[in-house]
Amino acid sequence: MTPVRKALWYVESHFADALTLEDVAARSGVSPYHLARGFASVTGLPVMRYVRGRRLSEAARALVGGAPDILAVALDAGYASHEAFTRAFRDQFGRTPEAVRARGCLDDLELVEPFMMTDAPPPAPQAPRLETTRQPLLIAGLGQRYRDETRAGMPAQWQRFAPHIGHVPGQIGAVTYGVICNGDDDGNADYICGVEVTDFSRLPADFARLRIAPATYAIFLHRDHVAAIRATFTAIWDHWLARSGLAASDAPFFERYGAGFDPDTGQGGVEIWIPLASGVGA
């Protein structure tokens, strides 16, 4: 059973408990960093947002069913007070528990239903090559913070960056990078589309800057159209790493777009560089 399957089972069995990402990862046999990436790749939601969504969706069902005591529903959903439950409920559904109970209908609520794993895993990626970098990688470009649900905006970010390619002060070569970094437990992360530079001294003020320390990477080739890259990430996080005996480190990982990639067609292949925990040699 893959880490995400284990995590889904554990969440569905315990979401009324005081769960943390660390708890779910421990029951899944991987690090919180690994589980956060794999879970979001498979389900489209960060672990803890899925936990909250499931809690509140079941609470909404109880309210529509006529539950007389909202505090009891709150406690059953893992909230210690009526106030905390109401804030979370309004954030999730845009209305109060009292309003949902009075209306007696779930039709206009976006419930988070149990995620059903398909039996067929995504195609296994080809065995990666391992490579150890010896120097820091300095990346400069346009950065934006995303939630998992909003990352469909990344192509537009690349469109904004395209006129800068070849004109970034200190740019090295023509390779471009899509770097994912600074992730948190709620599934927010920074995405930088950029290029390698010699230094950061002459960059435009609005450019993002990131120094990536030397590391050992597992490097996978995504051969299909770039729009299908999520399937490769899923195969890496939820299948290959789980079976490889290796562990990813909590460091930036990135897409590397080389000379063969055609940004007009989205074809030509993309390398995915996953940093490995210390102790792995090239």
Predicted structure pTM score? 0.75
Range from 2-11, 94-103, 143-152 that averages highest in pLDDT: 94-103
Task: Give all domains of the chain, ordered by start, each with its CATH number.
Answer: 3-103 (1.10.10.60), 129-275 (3.20.80.10)
* Chain segment 192-235, per-residue pLDDT in tens: 999 999 999 999 999 999 999 999 999 999 998 888 888 899 89
For 123-168, write each residue's pLDDT tens digit: 667 789 999 999 999 999 999 999 877 777 788 899 899 999 999 9
pLDDT digits (tens, 9 = 90+) for 84-96: 999 999 999 999 9
DSSP string covering the chain: --HHHHHHHHHHHHTTS---HHHHHHHHTS-HHHHHHHHHHHHSS-HHHHHHHHHHHHHHHHHHTT-S-HHHHHHHTT-SSHHHHHHHHHHHHSS-HHHHHHHT--TTS---PPP---SSPPPPPPPPEEEE--S-EEEEEEEEEE-GGGGGGHHHHHHHHGGGTT-STTEEEEEEEEEEE---TTS-EEEEEEEEES-STT--TT-EEEEEPP-EEEEEEE-S-GGGHHHHHHHIIIIIHHHHS--B-SS-EEEEE-TT-BTTTTBS-EEEEEEBPTT---
Q: What percent of the chain has pLDDT over 70?
A: 95
Residue 123: predicted pLDDT: 65
